[in-house]
Amino acid sequence: MAAAAAVPPKGVFVPSPTFFHPESPSALQAAVDIPSQVAHSVLLAKSGITGIVLLGSTGEAIHLSRQERSDLVAGVRAGLDDAGFPGYPLMAGVLTNGLDETLEWLNDYARAGAQWGLVLAPGYFGAAASQEGLRDWYVRVADRSPIPVLVYNYPGVTNGVTVLPETYTKLARHKNIVGCKMSHGNVSHHVQVSLDPAIDHDNFRVYSGFGQQLGPIVLFGAAGVIDGMAAYYPKTVVRLMKLVLAEDTVSTTAEIRRLQYVVSLAEEFIGRYGVVGIKEAVYRVTGLGVLESGRPPIVGKLANGEWEKARGQFLTAIEETEASL
């Protein structure tokens, strides 16, 4: 019998934004900034983040060429190794619909040093993609992928396609499908899949794409979150995750509730400003990256005064918590 595929650890993963150099008037688009990508990855590793997702939706994989994607993953892997983090958990996003191209991305990532592929549900045709069709597509990918894969369900970028709990139950039986990321607000789906007695939860991990769901889903069996806000306020999310995963949460209930509140409030910033907001926050908080760069159509920074307004509305409490950790 074949050995079980490696399963990602429980904890907090960060969907890292992709860093770009300043735009040059003579170039078609800004160049990828691998040194800044490495510096950010090392910062996250030192902050206690469990692992990193490169080139997901936040990472704008669709805006990079095949060579750029491979170079970025390989560069981060080498940079983490050099910084004393060999074998650090890396997922890489696959955001395409064709089977051949999906496997091409996965093979490239395997060679570059990623341990898992986070594979977006094929949603070009929207509701025409039946649950049986989704299951068949993922099985064909997993049968041939050189690295284990996770199902990535983000209805907001896949014409509303939603992978239903019964489909996860079937896909979880595949030895090379080791988990899922649900980037939607249906907490019931998270809980159903996390507690499904027909799923071997040691070999299939459930992650949410939203840190504001961390407490509610992890307390009911989920493995963790793949959370954008942890890209710039990692310590608070890590602390909350540690407390929620602890065997005894009774004595820390008040702290769990406090931390979940400040995390949930701060997550409103991402809901309002998206990828551009995440990049601006990373720059403002860590000093990494540049403002007013990127690749069309999401080039630029927040409007003048918007960062200061958002800090006062959403981020003050988490800034204070982060400083205390």
* Catalytic positions: 181
From the list 189, 187, 183, the residue with the least C-alpha distance to 168 is: 189
248: amino acid identity, one letter: D
CA dihedral in degrees (275, 152, 268, 30; nearest 10)?
Answer: 0
Q: Is the peptide bond before 297 cis (omega within 30 degrees of 0)?
A: yes
54 in Cβ contact with 90 (< 8 Å): yes
Angle of helix 131-144 relative to helix 99-112, nearest 10 degrees, comes to 40
DSSP codes of every residue in 51-117? EEEESSTTTTGGGS-HHHHHHHHHHHHHHHHHTT-TT--EEEEE----HHHHHHHHHHHHHHT-SEE
Q: How far apart are CA 294 and CA 58, in angstroms?
A: 12
HEC profile of 132-198: HHHHHHHHHHHHHCCCCEEEEECHHHCCCCCCCHHHHHHHCCCCCEEEEEECCCCHHHHHHHHHCCC
277 in Cβ contact with 232 (< 8 Å): no
93 in Cβ contact with 152 (< 8 Å): yes
What is the Cα Rg of the chain in Å? 19
With residues binned 3-state (H G I as helix, E B as strand, rest as coil), the percentages for the chain, rounded to 5, are 50, 10, 40
Residue 46 in 3-state DSSP?
helix
